Structure 1
Amino acid sequence: MEDHIHIFTHIHPAIPVSSLIKNIKLASSDMIKRNRLFDHFEGWQKGYGAFSVNYSSKNNLIEYIKNQQEHHQKINFITEYKRVLEENGIEFDEKYLF
């Protein structure tokens, strides 16, 4: 997808999600810039979204991620992201989303 990525991973509970995301962003930004992979890449956005799922939902989530291009032809990312937040009772201010 051109405007977001999905990362499906399992991390030890002692590792803060923020540390994982920080390390991914730093390492990938360095690699992208060093190898000149994207002409107009200026870095990742400041924020991120992280969601946990139970183990029994693992296969459904993997299929969801695999089918992102097709899926986002039906519903755009921003609309879907807001829907997920609302369905899970997560309060948000739109000015901080994107």
Structure 2
Amino acid sequence: LKPSMALSDLVRDIKNNSSKFINEQGWVKGKFSWQEGYGAFSYAHSQIEQVYQYILNQEQHHSKRSFKEEYLDFLAKFEIDHKTEYLFDWVE
């Protein structure tokens, strides 16, 4: 992500384009849409391999932990002060 691009614009574009693609492919019954909000965490360039491995093994670790557990762990790991009532509605 270049410093000149706002993260919120990137997320908006990803959500718009992926929703359109998923709906055009008919991968879900009814209309697919993303929930409101997003979380973003930054890593150093030297950690690219760790991030790659994390993404590669996402299905495996999601079988052991819920998205909610994982997201709350990220907030703690990155020491992000937050109020639970402002987090998204959890889909279990």
Q: Which TM-score band applies after superposition, normalised by the shorter structure?
A: 0.7 to 0.9
> What is the total number of aligned residue pairs between the two structures?
88
The one-letter code of the counterpart of 1:96 is Y
CA separation in 2, counterparts of 1:83 and 1:17? Answer: 21
User: Relative contact order (alpha carbons < 8 A, sep ≥ 6): 1 or 2 greater?
Assistant: 1
Please, what TM-score do these two structures have when normalized by structure 1?
0.78
The one-letter code of the counterpart of 1:73 is S
2:17 corresponding residue in structure 1:
27
1:7 corresponding residue in structure 2:
none
2:65 corresponding residue in structure 1:
75
Deviates more, 1:13-22 or 1:88-97: 88-97
State percent identity of aligned pairs: 36
Answering whether residue 33 of structure 2 is matched by residue 43 of structure 1, we say: yes
Please, what TM-score do these two structures have when normalized by structure 2?
0.83
Q: Any idea what SS the aligned residue of 2:40 has?
A: coil
Measured on the aligned residues, the alpha-carbon RMSD in Å equals 1.5
- The offset of 1:55, in angstroms, is 0.7
2:49 corresponding residue in structure 1:
59
Indicate if the aligned counterparts of 2:22 and 2:32 stay in contact, CA closer than 8 A.
Answer: no
